[in-house]
């Protein structure tokens, strides 16, 4: 009777043998072996690490770690919180990045989309690693739509309708090879500079900054200068030059190490300015705010490349090509011009060292604050 109930009829010969073993003996001999079974998850030896990483389905983390032991232990912790915000932040740290997460509002049609606002601009070679680990960390239902830093322009929202066409245009960004989401990166380069007779004489606009100007010296119609005869005679040469330079418009040209033009971007802004008095101002260069002025003595110029402009080239310097324009037969409002597409009657002025690599994901914003000396 006892044999039929304990152990059960389904017991194997091994089960019966173990059951007949004394409890003390069973404890002494089997417990260490039983405990050792779990050690492969807590402290696998070097000979097991590679196999354990594959068994735990952590192969996706291999590009982020040089040390397999660190990969295994950090990966297990990451895997336990998979699908949570904590997992995304942990994954970003694996790729050397950090940032804030933005989930689309539930009123939107694609409510399951989300974005990452990075704290720092990543290296171009790291974009794919960041997007892949972020997508591997988020919930299955969610889609990573965009990653941004330095340039964040949002679509205009004019309705809370969930299913209608309630967004105007789209968020800024561009596709990058090896990465699914859009990337919207931006860098700003600021140059407070002084222009002298050497640079401005070829443009035929030079006047002594504190000297007097004659009507015959003006390159613009008198109505555009906005100054009386008396003001022209009051040592306002810099004011006249500022007005004239702004009226010439043009492009910001990027050059490689050999001095060959990579391409040129139309000026986004060109204005006569003076230092701002308040805390709110439209322009800023090197920590100084500027605001438009009717008869100022300074000039503010800004240009911003588009995504992909000059991608793959190294821009060693950047300069201003005043009165440059597209060649005949091309659209005269074209923003980016290749070297063979531009007509530049004057040499570049305000040339500054840049030293950056242009790429598909980054818009380069270049700003000058020009003073005449």
pLDDT digits (tens, 9 = 90+) for 87-135: 999 999 999 999 999 999 888 888 899 999 999 999 999 999 999 999 9
Q: Tell me the three state secondary structure of residue 356.
A: strand
Share of the chain above pLDDT 70, in %: 83
Q: How many structural domains is the chain composed of?
A: 3
Q: Are residues 209 and 144 in the same domain?
A: no
Q: What are phi and psi of 197, to 5 degrees?
A: -60, -35
Q: Return the minimum-mean-pLDDT range out of 188-197, 234-243, 253-262, 315-324.
A: 234-243
Domain limits at 7? 2-37
Q: Are residues 150 and 20 in the same domain?
A: no
Q: Are residues 199 and 330 in the same domain?
A: yes
Q: Are residues 302 and 281 in the same domain?
A: yes
Residue 179: pLDDT band with limits 50, 70, 90:
confident
The answer to whether 116 and 134 are in contact (CB under 8 A) is yes
Query: Residues 305-333: what's their mean pLDDT?
Result: 96
Task: Please count the other Cβ atoms lying within 10 Å of the Cβ belonging to residue 309.
Answer: 24
Q: Are residues 85 and 116 in the same domain?
A: yes
CA-CA-CA-CA torsion sign (236, 240, 246, 250): negative
Q: How far is residue 367's CA from residue 364's CA, in Å, rounded to a whole number?
A: 10
Q: Is the pLDDT of residue 339 over 60?
A: yes
Average pLDDT, rounded, for the chain: 87
pTM of the model: 0.81
pLDDT, residue 1, reads 40
Q: Are residues 14 and 97 in the same domain?
A: no
Packed helices 46-55 and 68-80: angle between N→C axes, nearest 10 degrees: 30
- Domain final position from 151, 185, 219: 185
Residue 324: pLDDT band with limits 50, 70, 90:
very high
Q: Return the minimum-mean-pLDDT range out of 1-15, 184-198, 292-306.
A: 1-15
Q: Tell me the three state secondary structure of residue 2.
A: helix
CA-CA-CA-CA torsion sign (113, 117, 118, 124): positive
Q: Is the pLDDT of residue 147 over 80?
A: yes
Residue 325: pLDDT band with limits 50, 70, 90:
very high
Query: Residues 247-268: what's their mean pLDDT?
Result: 97
pLDDT, residue 205, reads 86
How large is the C-alpha radius of gyration of the chain?
33
Residue 46: pLDDT band with limits 50, 70, 90:
confident
Q: Are residues 297 and 212 in the same domain?
A: yes
Q: Are residues 121 and 177 in the same domain?
A: yes
pLDDT, residue 281, reads 93
pLDDT, residue 231, reads 59
The answer to whether 345 and 324 are in contact (CB under 8 A) is yes
Task: Please count the other Cβ atoms lying within 10 Å of the Cβ belonging to residue 95.
Answer: 19
Highest mean pLDDT among 13-27, 101-115, 213-227: 101-115
Run of H or E including 301 = strand 298-304
DSSP 76-108: HHHHHTTTSHHHHHHHHHHTT--EEEEEPPTTS
Q: Tell me the three state secondary structure of residue 169.
A: coil
Over the stretch 33-44, which tens digit does the pLDDT of each residue have?
Answer: 777 666 677 777
List the alpha helices (DSSP H) in the chain: 2-5, 13-20, 23-37, 39-42, 46-55, 68-80, 85-94, 127-137, 197-200, 222-225, 229-232, 237-248
Q: Are residues 117 and 237 in the same domain?
A: no
pLDDT, residue 70, reads 94
Q: Are residues 216 and 256 in the same domain?
A: yes
Residue 188: pLDDT band with limits 50, 70, 90:
very high
């Amino acid at each position: 009777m006892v044999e039929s109930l304990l152990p059960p009829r389904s017991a194997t010969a091994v089960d019966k043998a173990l059951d007949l073993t004394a409890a003390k003996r069973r404890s002494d001999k089997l417990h260490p072996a039983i405990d050792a079974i779990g050690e492969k998850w807590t402290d696998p030896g070097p000979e097991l690490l590679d196999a354990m990483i594959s068994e735990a389905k952590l192969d996706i983390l291999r590009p982020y770690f040089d040390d397999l032991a660190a990969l295994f232990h950090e990966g297990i912790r990451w895997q336990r919180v998979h699908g949570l915000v904590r997992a995304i932040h942990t994954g970003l740290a694996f790729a050397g990045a950090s940032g804030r997460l933005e989930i689309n509002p539930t009123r939107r049609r694609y409510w399951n989309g989300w974005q990452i606002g990075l704290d720092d601009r990543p290296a171009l070679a790291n974009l794919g690693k960041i997007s892949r680990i972020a997508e591997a960390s988020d919930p299955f239902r969610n889609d990573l739509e965009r990653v941004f830093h330095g340039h964040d322009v949002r679509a205009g929202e004019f309705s809370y309708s969930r299913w209608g066409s309630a967004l105007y245009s789209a968020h800024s960004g561009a596709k990058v090879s090896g990465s699914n989401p859009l990337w919207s990166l931006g860098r700003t380069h600021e140059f407070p500079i002084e222009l002298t007779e050497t640079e401005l004489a070829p443009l035929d606009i030079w006047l002594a900054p504190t000297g007097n100007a004659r009507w015959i010296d003006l390159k613009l119609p008198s109505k555009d200068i906005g100054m009386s005869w008396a003001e022209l005679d009051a040592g306002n040469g810099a004011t006249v030059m500022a007005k004239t330079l702004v009226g010439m418009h043009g492009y910001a040209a990027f050059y490689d190490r050999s001095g060959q033009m990579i391409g040129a971007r139309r000026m986004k802004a060109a204005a006569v300015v003076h230092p701002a008095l308040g805390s709110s101002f439209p322009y800023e260069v090197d920590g100084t705010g500027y605001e438009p002025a009717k008869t100022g003595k300074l000039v503010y110029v800004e240009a911003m490349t588009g995504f992909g402009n000059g991608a793959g080239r190294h821009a060693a310097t950047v300069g201003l090509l005043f009165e440059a324009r597209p060649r005949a037969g091309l659209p005269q409002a074209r923003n980016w011009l290749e070297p063979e597409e531009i007509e530049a009657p004057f040499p570049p002025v305000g040339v500054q060292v840049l030293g950056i690599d242009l790429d598909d994901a980054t818009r380069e914003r270049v700003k000058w604050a020009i003073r005449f000396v």
